[in-house]
Amino acid sequence: MKRFTAFISALALSLIAAPEALAAEQPKVIRIGVATVGTGNRPVFGGAVTSLVNVKGLLEQEFRAEGIKVEWNFFKGAGPAVNEAIANKLLDFAWQGDLPAIIGKAGGLNTKLLLADGTRGTAYVAVPADSPARTLEELKGKKVALFKGTNGQLVAAKVLDQRGLSERDFKSINMDGATTQAAIATKDVDAAWFGYDVYPLVDRGIARIVYSTRGQPANLSRQTHFLVTGDFEQRYPHIVQRVVNTLVREAAWASDDRNREQVLQQWAKSGVPYTAFKQDYEGTPLKVRLSPLFDDFFTTHYKDAVALSKKYRLIRGEVDVDSWLEPKYQREAVRQLKLDGYWAEFDAKGGVKKPASLASYQAP
Domain boundaries, the chain: 29-119+223-354, 124-220
pLDDT at 358: 74
Per-residue pLDDT of 310-360, as tens digits, reads 999 999 999 999 999 999 999 999 999 999 999 999 999 999 999 998 777
Residue 19 has pLDDT above 50, yes or no: no
Q: What is the CATH architecture assignment of 124-220?
A: 3-Layer(aba) Sandwich (3.40)
Pick among 3.30.460.10, 2.40.100.10, 2.60.40.1930, 3.40.190.10: CATH of 29-119+223-354: 3.40.190.10
| Average of per-residue pLDDT across 95-121 | 97
Q: Report the alpha-carbon distance of residue 43 to residue 46 in Å, rounded.
A: 11
pLDDT, tens digit (0-9, with 9 covering 90-100), for 190-224: 999 999 999 999 999 999 999 999 999 999 999 99
Reported as a pLDDT band with limits 50, 70 and 90, residue 18 is very low
Question: In the prediction, which pLDDT does 15 show?
Answer: 40
Q: For residue 11, what pLDDT is reported?
A: 41
Same-fold call for 29-119+223-354 versus 124-220: yes
